[in-house]
Chains A and B, each alone.
Chain A
Amino acid sequence: MKIRAFLTAPFSPLKGQGYNLVVFKNGESVVPPDLTELFLTSCKKYAQKFKVYLATCLYREESNLCMAVFSPKGELLGVQRATHINLRWIDEIEPYDDIEIISTPLGKIFLAVDVDIYHPEVLRLAIFNECDFIVSSQMLPMVDFNEDRIFFGARSAAAANRIYIIHTTTYSSALICPPELTSDGSGFLAYPTGKEQTVEFDWEDASISRRALMDALLGSNCLHRYRNILEK
């Protein structure tokens, strides 16, 4: 399935044609609870107006940190709440205990909410639940914004799980894939940039190697022995 996505600041007008997905980068802060209803209504209208699937930036809903996907008709197709919290926010936000793969005609999408991208077991759960690609949104303050944060998060997750990841922060957006699918071995099909950008990919290009990875994990002689440890 071919995806043509526009990665942009929230509610920027979509110029050009042929897009089937828009991903909102984060603003300077997470959408606060008192603006959530208005934010979601605006997202719905945006998706309807431009007739695209829309993956939102981070927003608060009660005590959870969330992302959502809307259909071109404005339907809310799914919400993912953060399963792990940055320790700086641990007093304000509660972790959620489940992951939801959102089925769309574009493919099955997993939304990696904020620091979930740094937790390998979350991404593993997503691929074992057969997600086709991941949209990751991170709130990184400028002081923490550096290439290692992207390299050891989204880039590592794409390589380790052999999957495409659309990655956004307040200051950047990128398209990351298994490194072997890039000519320079970097894993970046679109390098992080602060500007809005268009990215295109076909998530099926990584499907076979991901299947092989999952078979290797399930066929491993050791991992089932450590089930109790992997549960930690």
Chain B
Amino acid sequence: MDLSLQMSAFLASVKVTQKKIKKAVEALGIQPSSNMGFTDRRAVRVSAVQYELKNYGSLKDYIFDVNEYVEEAVKSGAQLVVFPEGMGFASLSLVPLYAKIRSRLKGAVEEEKAEAMEIVSDALIDYFYEVYSTLFSELAKAHRIYIAAGSTYVYEDNSLHSRAFLYNPSGEEEAWQDKLFPSGDELDMGMLGGESIQVIETPFGNMSMLIGQDDEYYEPFKIASLSGADLIAFSAAYRGSPDKFRSMGTIAARAYECSLYCIRSAMVGRFVTGEKLNDHAGIYGPYLSCKGEHGVIAEAPEDGKGHVISARLDFQRLQDSLDSYNSQSNDSLSAQYGEIFNQNVVPFPSSTV
């Protein structure tokens, strides 16, 4: 491993500790909310965070900024707040020698950016996880709400995973979900896609978490829906060019097809590699059960700035407002489709000697 990265990782572990994070959260003087005091599946309050990436001068600044999003959500009554994909990396600018890391990543030619990012995340993966898990656990506990904290990279069984965690109002790690369809860059980094989809029971209803490119596939949403989920906490950090149709063609379409509410967080600003993140957060539902057009319940402005959007959802409506166009099922045909996956799938082609 690169010596400067090794040093950086070591110094980060000294500079940012669990104790310091807990102390900084405590110093915010957060009053616990009563948002979870009354739960009813006909009135579930949710918030999606459009998180703006920033270069933070200190741990205190970082924690203050993240808490601002949570606080705004809590004020709107949120029982669940959803953060974006890659939230684990948001603390990168706190790492000693950050300027050196940034110029290395920005300076890498396009085809070497993924490799450079892999080296950085390899070196700092434990730091990222510790900051992420401690901070969101503390914030969930302090505000007494559920936080779907977005994703961070973890190593498990010698494999890299992009994993989203859900923290409950006691600050416990209630559940986690691996990204099912890693991006091309992530596959190049050796990331393994998740093997299952968790449906999590909460006092306000059942939910699942999905990440990133998972919204390009209807199957995970259908599986979640058929397994009892009412809501998907979807963590996104779209890195493509601006696309005003993207949400309608992906997450809103999944909400319609699978009769689910989808809370889509987003990340904006400039990624450490120099890429501009063009995205916006939104809350979507099957369009017949939404008052707005195109299945949109609420959407953040596409202004490249941080926002929190909130909505009250009625899970009962998912069952009550059947669309005659897509509600009939054909078991025999579905069985044929299921058969496609009736095989021992090898995740990656292995070369034969």
Contacts and interface: CB of A to CB of B under 8 A. Distances in A.
Contact of B219 (A122, A153, A230): A230
Classify chain A: how many residues form its interface, as a range.
Answer: 35 or more
Contacts of B1: none
B333 A156 contact: no
Contacts of B336: 98, 125
Contact of B220 (A83, A84, A95, A222): A222
A186 B347 CA distance: 33
B328 A84 contact: yes
B219 A225 contact: no
Contacts of B140: none
Interface stretch (B87-95, B104-112, B144-152, B287-295): B287-295
Interface stretch (B10-18, B25-33, B47-55, B190-198): B190-198
B337 A222 contact: no
B244 interface: yes
Interface string B223-254: 10011000000000000000111101110110
Interface string A169-204: 000000000010000011100000000000000000
A216 interface: yes
B342 A224 contact: yes
B195 A221 contact: yes
Contact of A115 (B194, B195, B287, B326): B326
Interface residues of B, number: 59
B326 A119 contact: yes
Contact of A220 (B180, B287, B295, B327): B180
Interface in A74-111: 83-88, 90, 95, 97-99
Interface string B314-344: 0000000011111111111111111111111
Contacts of B197: 222, 226
A230 B223 contact: yes
B303 interface: no
A34 interface: no
Interface in A202-232: 216-232
A155 interface: yes
B222 interface: yes
Given A125-B333, A179-B243, A120 B218 contact: yes
B345 interface: yes
B38 interface: no
B326 A83 contact: no
A221 B226 CA distance: 19
Contact of B324 (A86, A99, A221, A222): A86
Interface in A148-165: 148-149, 151-153, 155-156, 159-160
A224 B331 contact: no
A86 B327 CA distance: 8
B132 interface: no
Nearest to A97: B332
A13 to B, nearest CB: 33
A156 B257 contact: yes
B153 interface: no
In the A-B complex, list the 6 residue pairs whose CB atoms are closest, starting with the nearest. Answer: A231-B338, A87-B324, A118-B326, A156-B253, A224-B341, A97-B332
Interface of B: 180-181, 192-197, 216-220, 222-223, 226-227, 243-246, 248-250, 252-253, 256-257, 287, 293-295, 322-348
